[in-house]
């Protein structure tokens, strides 16, 4: 199975790049299933029902999220109705929405997508390592599940690397989001799990992690900025990974980073 994962969509620039390029990317890489982190897609903060529908129409199958999920208040009601829009599974009990789900590809192969959020340098939630064990005790990679993908939305690289090793050999892939910078460590762990610390963002890289530079620079210089943070609107680079798995074991054969368009694109 070939799975495409794209990192955080940042505002209008990221959405436009997705609309213009996703179908071609899927054809080029012969993608069976597409997962996209959409938590920054609405003006850099959160996601809306309309944006979810747009991402599905462009070719996305599942949308993962993170700490900005609730920034657009309308999503609280909507997420309970949309099984393809995931929240981090280790959000507190009673939070609306699903933290993982099982889907079918066009070839009728089963894939599980799990969304987790980190605790280090972030607002603390339930322990992601213990919470993911709840899932792993009930679901096993192999004959029924052809692929298990984990989006670990976390700040600390050490926490992400630890999660990769914690799940090595039990899931197909663990890929990090949230930092908005694509890391160069995509590889297959000893047990057969594909891993990359951060997929990067789908946004304008002539920016400070997707946002217009000026107000952020002013803050770093100790000035009071009069402008709110807003997404940069130049041409976006779509950043992510393509993972190919073995259909018998569900473990990864390859992980290939992609950077398309904009400042970083090939």
Residue numbers annotated as active site: 68
What CA–CA distance (Å, rounded) separates 162 from 258? 24
Would you state the structure tokens that stand for residue 168, as one six-digit string?
């090595």
Listed in sequence order, the residues at least 6 apart from 99 whose beta carbon sits closer than 8 Å to its beta carbon are 86, 87, 88, 89, 90, 91, 114, 115, 116, 131
**Tokens 């210089």, located at residue:** 221
List strands edge to edge, sheet with 62-64. Answer: 62-64, 33-37, 2-6, 238-245, 252-260
| CB 243 within 8 Å of CB 227 | no
Would you state the structure tokens that stand for residue 176, as one six-digit string?
């990090």
Q: Residue 18: name the closest of 150, 203, 198 by CA.
A: 203
Would you state the structure tokens that stand for residue 243, as one six-digit string?
């993972």
């Amino acid at each position: 199975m070939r799975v495409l994962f794209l990192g955080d969509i940042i505002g209008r620039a990221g959405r436009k790049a997705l609309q213009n390029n996703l179908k071609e990317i899927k054809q080029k890489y012969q993608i069976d299933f597409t997962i996209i982190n959409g938590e920054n897609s609405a003006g850099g903060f959160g996601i809306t029902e309309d944006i979810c529908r747009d991402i599905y129409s462009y070719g996305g199958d599942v949308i993962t999220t993170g700490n900005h999920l609730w920034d657009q208040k309308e999503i609280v009601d909507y997420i309970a109705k949309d099984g393809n829009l995931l929240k981090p599974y280790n959000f507190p009990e009673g939070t609306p929405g699903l933290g993982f789900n099982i889907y079918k590809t066009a070839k009728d192969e089963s894939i599980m997508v799990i969304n987790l959020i980190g605790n280090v340098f972030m607002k603390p939630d339930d322990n992601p390592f213990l919470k993911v064990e709840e899932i792993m005790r009930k679901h096993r990679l192999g004959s029924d599940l052809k692929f298990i993908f984990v989006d670990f939305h976390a700040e600390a690289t050490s926490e992400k690397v630890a999660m990769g090793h914690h799940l090595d050999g039990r899931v197909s892939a663990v890929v990090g989001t949230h930092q908005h910078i694509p890391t160069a460590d995509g590889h297959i762990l000893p047990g057969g799990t594909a891993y990359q610390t951060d997929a990067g963002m789908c946004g304008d890289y002539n920016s400070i992690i997707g946002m217009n530079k000026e107000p952020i620079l002013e803050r770093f210089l100790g000035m009071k900025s009069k402008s709110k943070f807003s997404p940069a609107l130049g041409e976006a680079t779509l950043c992510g990974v393509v993972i190919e798995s073995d259909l018998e074991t569900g473990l990864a054969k390859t992980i290939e980073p992609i950077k398309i368009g904009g400042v970083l694109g090939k």
